[in-house]
Amino acid sequence: MTDDGQGDPQTGPITGHYIVCGGNALAHRLIVELTEHYEVPVIALVPDRTRDHGPRIELLAGVAEVLESSTVSEEALRAAGVDGARGVALMDGTDQENIHAALAAQGRNPGIRIVLRMFNLRLGEHIRQLLPNSAALSGSATAAPAFANGALGRPGSVQVGDRFLYVAYGDEIEGNQICLVADRIDRQDLTRLRLLPDTGGRAAEFIALARRLGSEGPIELGRTPGTEVAGPDRGSIAVLQTLTSEPPVPIAWWKRARWWLQDALRHFTSVRLRLVLTTALIAVLVGGWVIWHYNGSLGWAAYLTLLDLAGAAQPDQPGVAVPGGPWTRLAQVVVTFCGITFVPVATAIVVDLLATGRRGQPRAPGSRTRDHVVVVGLGNVGTRVAALVHSTGVPVVCIERDPQARGIAAVRALGLPVLVGDAPLESQLRRARVRYSRALVAVTTDDAANLEAALEARAVRPEVRIVVRLFDDDFAHHVYATMGNVASRSVSYLSAPAFAAALMGREVLGTLSVYRHVLLIAELAAEPGSGLLGRDTHEIEGDGGVRVIAVRLARRPQEYQWNFADRARRLEPGDRIVVAATRSGLARLNTLDPEGS
C-alpha cells in the first residue's frame, strides 16, 4: 500500500501496535529490536520503499505492514493506525519535522508513547513540556562515547548514582566486580561469546576464577586451575566493575603539558610569529650560555642576561678588561636585540588576536602534532566523537570531504584543525600526520570509505589503533578478524536498543559495548500493574539475560544498594532496581505479567 500524503487508505483493524517512521539504518535496527526481542507488531512508515533501507525493512518477517509516504503527515499517521497504536518512533527527518509529527500523533492519540530522534539534545530536554509521554534521544550521542573510548583505549562507562560502571577484561579484572558479563570470548570467533551467561544465580564461582590470574592470563571458565587448555577451547571472561569516577585516559602528565603548551601557542600566534619567537629564544639561551661560560657564575650570568633582555645593558668602556672579551660583548648585543624584538612581537600577537579572533579560524595540523586522534567524517557522529576526545585533552585532527558539512564549523569553534576537500584520502591522511597518530576513527556514512581510511592509515602506520563505523555485521566480522588492533562499531546497533527500550517506557541509563555485543544498563520501577511487583531477584534473573546489580528501596530512594544481599525479598511498590541486561533480557522484563493476573 502506498500513501503519498494525499489519500486516506486504511490498514485494517490492527491495534496495539507500534509505528516506526523512517527508512534509515537506525529505523531498520529499531524494527528488528521490536519484532525479534520484544515480539510486538510493527507498522513501518518509510519515505521510499526502493531507497536506503526500505527494501530491507520490507523483508523483515515481523513487520505487519510497510507503508510509503514522503512525509510523516497526519494523513500518513492515520493510515498507519495511529489512533490504536501503543507507540510511535520518529527516526528520520529534522528536529522540527519530528516535533511536528509527534504533535500530530499526540493530537490523534493522547496516550500514545512517542520517541523522537533529535540532534539538538538541549531542545530534547524541554520537549516533554509539549509531549508528556515522550522521550527524545540522539543516536549519535548514544553511540559516540563508544567510538571515542575505542580510540582512546579506555573502557566505556555508564554513571549510576555516584558510581561509574564499565566492562573489564582479562588482566584488568579487579576485586570490585558486580557480575559476570561474558565468557567464552574468542577474539577470532565472537560467535562463541556468551553475553550474561547462565550462572545459576550469582557469578561468584566465575569471579573467584577471574581473580586467580596466572602468568598466562585469566583462567578458562570451567577449567581446573593448573591444567592446560589449548586450541579454540581456550577463552577469557569479562566482568562488570565500578569506579567512583569515570575511567581516566592513560596519558602521562608531561604529554598533557606539552599538548597544552602547543595548543596555547597555536591559539595566540601564527606560524611566522612562532618562528620569530623560537629564533629569539634560542639566541637568548645561547647568549646566556656564553656569558655563563666566561663569567663562571650561573647567578651573575642569569642576572646579566635578564638585564640585557630588558634593554638595560651597560656598554663596556675602552681599555676595561671583560671576561670573555669580544664573545661576551657579542652575546650581550644579541640578547639585547632579541629583547627589543619581544615587545613588537607581543604587540602583534595581541593585535592579531583582537582583530581576527584566532579561535574558529581554519588551520592545518602543525609540524609538531603527535600522539593525536584522526577523525574522518564530520557528520553528527564524527562531530561528537571529536568533541569528546578533545574534552579529554588529547589532540584531534579532522578530515571532511564535504565543505558544506555542518560539523566543520563546530570543530573549528573548538580550535581543532580540519582538512576539507575532495583530495585523495591518502594525501589527506598524510597531511593529518597519521604517521604520528595514536588512533584513527572513520565514521563516514559509507562502509567502503571507512574501510579505505582504515587500510590507508594502517599502510602508513601499522600499529595505529583503528575504530571504524560499519553497519553490515558480516562485513564488520571479517574486518575485525582480519585486521589487528581494530574495533568496529555500528551507530544503529549501539543506539537501537536504547530507542526500543524508551519506546517501551523503560529508562535506559546507557549502553556498554562487549566487542560487537551490546549490554544495556537500565533502571526499572516496581509499580502497580508492573510485572516486577511482588517478584524477587531469583525470579527476575531466572530466565537469563538479566542481572540485578543494585536496588533502591522505596523507604531509602537515594541509596543504591549494590548486589542487594536479600535476594528472596519481593519488590514492593516504589522499589527500583538497576539491571544489566541483554536486549532480549530487557524485552522479557517488559512483558512480565503482573502477579495474580
Domains of the chain: 18-137 (3.40.50.720), 163-243 (no CATH), 253-356 (no CATH), 373-489 (3.40.50.720), 505-590 (3.30.70.1450)
Q: Which of 482, 480, 484, 464 is nearest to 516 (CA)?
A: 480
What is the distance between the alpha carbons of residues 180 and 200, in angstroms, rounded to a whole number? 12
What is the average pLDDT across 1-10? 43
What is the distance between the alpha carbons of residues 165 and 20, in angstroms, rounded to a whole number? 31
Q: Is the pLDDT of residue 304 over 80?
A: no
| Res. 445 pLDDT band, cuts 50 70 90 | confident
What is the distance between the alpha carbons of residues 294 and 301, in angstroms, rounded to a whole number? 9
Q: Which of 395, 398, 406, 394 is nearest to 376 (CA)?
A: 398
Please indicate whether residue 153 or residue 66 has the higher confidence score (pLDDT). 66
Q: In the prediction, which pLDDT does 262 show? A: 66
Ranges of H-type helices in 118-194: 121-126, 139-152
> What is the DSSP track for 74-105?
HHHHHHTTGGG-SEEEE-SS-HHHHHHHHHHH
What is the distance between the alpha carbons of residues 362 and 384, in angstroms, rounded to a whole number? 19
Please indicate whether residue 344 or residue 442 has the higher confidence score (pLDDT). 442
Q: Is the pLDDT of residue 123 over 50?
A: yes
What is the average pLDDT across 50-65? 90
| Res. 196 pLDDT band, cuts 50 70 90 | confident
What is the distance between the alpha carbons of residues 34 and 28, in angstroms, rounded to a whole number? 10
The answer to whether 440 and 463 have CB atoms below 8 angstroms apart is no
Q: Is the pLDDT of residue 172 over 50?
A: yes
Q: In the prediction, which pLDDT does 229 show? A: 36
- Most confident of the ranges 1-10, 36-45, 584-593: 36-45
Q: In the prediction, which pLDDT does 366 show? A: 64
What is the distance between the alpha carbons of residues 519 and 493, in angstroms, rounded to a whole number? 11
| Res. 224 pLDDT band, cuts 50 70 90 | very low
How high is the mean pLDDT of the chain? 79
Please indicate whether residue 423 or residue 419 has the higher confidence score (pLDDT). 419
Q: Which of 32, 30, 98, 24 is nearest to 54 (CA)?
A: 24
| Res. 225 pLDDT band, cuts 50 70 90 | very low
The answer to whether 390 and 414 have CB atoms below 8 angstroms apart is yes
272-286, 389-403, 517-531, 536-550: lowest mean pLDDT where? 272-286
| Res. 66 pLDDT band, cuts 50 70 90 | very high
211-215, 221-225, 255-259, 467-471: lowest mean pLDDT where? 221-225
- Most confident of the ranges 110-114, 247-251, 293-297, 475-479: 110-114
The torsion angles phi and psi of 57, rounded to 5 degrees, stand at -65, -40
Q: In the prediction, which pLDDT does 294 show? A: 73
Q: In the prediction, which pLDDT does 226 show? A: 40
Q: How far is CA 389 from CA 150, 273, 305, 384, 569, in A?
A: 10, 29, 42, 9, 44
7-21, 206-220, 396-410, 571-585: lowest mean pLDDT where? 206-220
Q: Is the pLDDT of residue 52 over 90?
A: no
Q: In the prediction, which pLDDT does 354 show? A: 63
The torsion angles phi and psi of 510, rounded to 5 degrees, stand at 170, 175
What is the distance between the alpha carbons of residues 460 and 424, in angstroms, rounded to a whole number? 14
| Res. 360 pLDDT band, cuts 50 70 90 | very low
Q: Is the pLDDT of residue 285 over 60?
A: yes
**What's 35's DSSP letter?**
I
Q: In the prediction, which pLDDT does 541 show? A: 87
Whether the model clears a pTM of 0.85, i.e. scores above it, the answer is no
Q: In the prediction, which pLDDT does 5 show? A: 41
Q: Is the pLDDT of residue 312 over 70?
A: no
Q: In the prediction, which pLDDT does 339 show? A: 74
Percent of the chain with pLDDT over 70: 78
Please indicate whether residue 219 or residue 434 has the higher confidence score (pLDDT). 434
Q: Is the pLDDT of residue 243 over 80?
A: yes
User: For 432-444, how does the pLDDT look when each residue is reduced to its tens digit (9 = 90+)?
Assistant: 989 989 999 999 9
What is the average pLDDT across 285-303? 76
